[in-house]
């Protein structure tokens, strides 16, 4: 598993943190009482969660303690929590996390630091059967530890490899606007139950925000329905399965979304280059934070697509505080992604 070393370190830290939080009284059995002036503490692991909760809180955002753990451009898959991060979770009233393999440390921290009245919201559990397995599509280079959604790997084009261990669930649930609507509603319900005095305000904020999400979802649908192309190609990892499945877009890519691989094989590059040429695709895509080397290699190997532009879709896995402070938010990034798709799908 990709996070074995991370978990080994965390187990050691948990004992230290648990002693510390018990000492300072974080295990207080009293429920949150905002009427007495105690701030409600809401901890989110990644930026999309943070952005959703911020919209739900609205004008009351400064009246609560809203924390984003994974920031400064750090990717969820490579994030190593500090003792301070675990203590922050231990003291929280609400903890929001994805629930995939990359943040199993959150569940361990919650179990090691019990707190009466604390609410933990696992996005993948909230979505239930909407959660998808990672899949290895034709020509994709499989991570040795990752299977496909169909139980096959394709290490070489057209040649299924030996069966792998059970495939992982795709963690990137926030990249579906339809998922976002469901999750915002659930988050609003949780916050409203803990701060009942302002429940109506939270529900109203959530309803207005969901309406904006739904409107953008309709724009995506209209764009795809009128598109000349229904296929996209990534010279990179592919964390956008939830997005493309929402609108029936076909894709090819170098790796699955959570792959630890960074060097594409000759077979993978050649396959993607041939797909670019045979489908006459107008552009090749990468994700935010990537170096673009695989995409450039694909264009170099192509015969007809060498001058195709390399465009970026934002997976929101490495959002910086500078971006947040500049006014960028979840919907603006999803709007930017739509503008990129318009160029790719024509």
Spatial neighbors of 184 by CB under 8 A, at least 6 apart, are 52, 55, 56, 206, 209, 210, 213
Number of structural domains the chain divides into: 2
Question: Collapsing DSSP states into helix, strand and coil, what is residue 184?
Answer: helix
Q: Which two tokens stand for residue 300?
A: 């170099």
Is residue 142 assigned to a domain? no
224-237 per-residue burial string, b: 16 or more CB within 10 A, e: under 16: beebebeebbbbbb
Question: Is 14 in a helix, a strand, or coil?
Answer: helix
Is residue 145, in this structure, part of any structural domain at all?
no
Looking only at the bridges linking them, the beta strands covering 154-156 and 65-68 are unpaired
The CATH number of residue 159's host domain is 3.40.50.1980
The pLDDT score that the predictor gives to residue 2 is 46
Burial 281-303 (b: 16+ CB within 10 A, else e): bbbbbbbbbbeeebbebbbebbe
Quick one: 193 and 251 in the same domain? no
- On whether both 70 and 193 belong to a single domain, the answer is yes
Give, as one character, the DSSP assignment of residue 133: B
pTM for the full model? Answer: 0.85
Consecutive sets of 10 residues in the chain, 346 residues long: mean pLDDT of each?
45 45 40 60 96 97 94 72 92 95 90 94 97 92 54 39 59 97 98 96 98 98 96 95 97 84 88 96 92 94 94 92 92 98 95
Helix axes 177-194, 199-225, angle to 10 degrees: 180
CB 143 within 8 A of CB 260: yes
Structure tokens at 334: 């999803």
Rounded to whole angstroms, what are the CA distances from 32 to 66, 140, 177?
Answer: 15, 49, 32
- Asked whether the beta carbons of 218 and 150 are under 8 A apart, the reply is no
Domain of 247, in residue numbers? 154-168+227-345
Cα gap 313→292, rounded to integer Å: 12
Tally the C-alpha atoms within 13 A of residue 78's C-alpha that lie toward its C-beta: 11
Same domain, 177 and 161: no
Q: What is the per-residue pLDDT for 102?
A: 85
What is the three-class DSSP state of 6?
Answer: helix
Residue 31 lies in a domain: no
Per the domain annotation, does 138 fall within a domain? no
């Amino acid at each position: 598993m990709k996070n074995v070393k991370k978990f080994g370190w965390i187990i050691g830290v948990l004992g230290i943190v648990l002693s510390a939080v018990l000492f300072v009284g974080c295990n207080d059995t009293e429920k949150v009482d905002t009427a007495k002036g105690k701030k409600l503490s809401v901890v989110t692991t990644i930026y999309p969660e943070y952005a959703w909760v911020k919209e739900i809180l609205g004008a009351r955002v400064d009246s609560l303690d809203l924390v984003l753990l994974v920031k400064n451009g750090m990717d969820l898959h490579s994030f190593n929590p500090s003792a301070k991060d675990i203590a922050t979770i231990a003291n929280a009233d609400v903890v929001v996390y994805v629930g995939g393999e990359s943040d199993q440390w959150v569940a361990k921290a919650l179990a090691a630091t019990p707190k009466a009245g604390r609410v933990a919201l696992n996005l993948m559990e909230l979505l239930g059967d909407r959660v998808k397995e990672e899949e290895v599509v034709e020509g994709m280079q499989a991570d040795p530890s990752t299977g496909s959604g169909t139980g096959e790997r394709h290490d070489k084009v057209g040649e299924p490899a030996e069966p792998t261990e059970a495939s992982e669930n795709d963690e990137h649930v926030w990249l579906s606007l339809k998922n976002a609507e469901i999750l915002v509603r659930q988050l609003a319900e949780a916050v409203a139950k803990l701060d009942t005095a302002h429940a109506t305000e939270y529900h109203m904020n959530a309803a207005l925000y969901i309406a904006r999400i739904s409107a953008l979802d309709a724009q995506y649908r209209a764009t795809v329905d009128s598109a000349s192309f229904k296929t996209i190609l990534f010279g990179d990892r592919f964390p956008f399965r939830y997005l493309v499945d929402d609108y029936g877009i076909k894709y090819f890519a170098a790796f699955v979304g959570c792959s630890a691989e960074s060097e594409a094989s000759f077979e993978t590059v050649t396959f993607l280059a041939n797909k670019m040429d045979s489908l006459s695709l107008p552009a090749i895509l990468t994700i935010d934070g990537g170096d673009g080397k695989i995409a450039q290699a694909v264009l170099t190997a192509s015969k007809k697509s060498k001058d195709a532009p390399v465009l970026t879709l934002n997976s929101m896995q490495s959002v910086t505080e500078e971006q947040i402070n500049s006014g960028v938010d979840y919907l603006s990034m999803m709007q930017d992604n739509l503008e990129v798709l318009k160029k790719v799908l024509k």
